[in-house]
Structure 1
Amino acid sequence: MADNKMGPNLQAGAGFFAKRVQKSLNRAQEKVLQKLGKTMETKDEQFELCFQNLNKQQTDGSRLFKDVKAYYAAVKAMHETSKRLSQTLREVYESDWNGVEDLALITDSEDLLWNDYEEKLNDQIVRTMENYTSQFPEVKERVAKRGRKLVDYDSARHHLEALQSAKKKDEAKITKAEEEFNKAQNVFEEINNELREELPVLYQSRIGCYVTVFQNISNLRDVFYKEMSVLNHDLYNVMKKLETQHSGKAFIIKGLNRNNLTCTYTHADVAKSGTITPH
Structure 2
Amino acid sequence: MAEMGSKGVTAGKIASNVQKKLTRAQEKVLQKLGKADETKDEQFEQCVQNFNKQLTEGTRLQKDLRTYLASVKAMHEASKKLNECLQEVYEPDWPGRDEANKIAENNDLLWMDYHQKLVDQALLTMDTYLGQFPDIKSRIAKRGRKLVDYDSARHHYESLQTAKKKDEAKIAKPVSLLEKAAPQWCQGKLQAHLVAQTNLLRNQAEEELIKAQKVFEEMNVDLQEELPSLWNSRVGFYVNTFQSIAGLEENFHKEMSKLNQNLNDVLVSLEKQHGSNTFTVKAQPSDNAPAKGNKSPSPPDGSPAATPEIRVNHEPEPAGGSMPGAALPKSPSQPTESPAGSLPSREPSAAEGTFAVAWPSQTAEPGPAQPAEASEVAGGTQPAAGAQEPGETAASEAASSSLPAVVVETFPATVNGTVEGGSGAGRLDLPPGFMFKVHAQHDYTATDTDELQLKAGDVVLVIPFQNPEEQDEGWLMGVKESDWNQHKELEKCRGVFPENFTERVP
**TM-score (ref. length: structure 1):** 0.88
**1:176 and 2:204 correspond:** yes
Matches within 5 A, 1:40-119: 40-119=37-116
Question: What runs of 5+ residues in structure 2 fail to find an aligned partner?
Answer: 169-197, 287-292, 295-506
Q: Deviation at 1:207? A: 1.2
Q: Please tell me whether the aligned partners of residues 271 and 278 of structure 2 are also in contact (alpha carbons under 8 angstroms).
A: no
Tell me what 2:129 maps to. 132
Give the whole-Å Cα distance in 2 for the aligned partners of 1:106 and 1:248: 26
Q: Is 1:220 equivalent to 2:219 in the alignment?
A: no
Aligned equivalent of 2:215, options 155, 169, 187: 187
Tell me which amino acid in the other structure corresponds to 1:242.
L
Q: Which residue of 2 aligns with 1:261?
A: none
Deviations 1:53-77 (A, max 9, x none): 0000000000111101100110011
Superposition pairs for residues 191-270 of structure 1, below 5 Å? 191-251=219-279, 266=280
Relative to structure 1, is the Cα distance of residues 72 and 102 closer, same or farther in structure 2, using a 3 angstrom cutoff?
same
User: Percent identity of the aligned residues?
Assistant: 55
**Alpha-carbon offset, residue 238 of structure 1:** 1.4
Deviations 1:146-189 (A, max 9, x none): 01100000000001111111122622211110000000000000
Greater radius of gyration (CA): 2
Q: CA deviation at 1:250?
A: 4.5
Compute the displacement of 1:133 (Å). Answer: 1.1
Q: Which has the higher strand share?
A: 2
Q: In the TM superposition, what is the alpha-carbon distance from 1:100 to its structure 2 partner?
A: 0.6
Deviates more, 1:233-242 or 1:61-70: 233-242
Whichever structure has more helix as a proportion of its residues is: 1
SS in 2 for 1:7: helix
Deviation at 1:6, TM superposition (A): 7.2
The separation in 2 between residues aligned to 1:163 and 1:221, in whole angstroms, is 69
- Gap regions ≥5 residues in structure 1: 252-265
Work out whether 1:142 is the aligned partner of 2:170: no
Moved more, 137-146 or 5-14: 5-14
- SS for the counterpart of 1:248 is helix
Contact 2:72 2:115 in 1 (8 A): yes
CA distance in 2, matches of 1:82, 1:248: 30
Residue correspondences, number: 255
- 2-side partners of 1:18 and 1:62: how far apart? 38
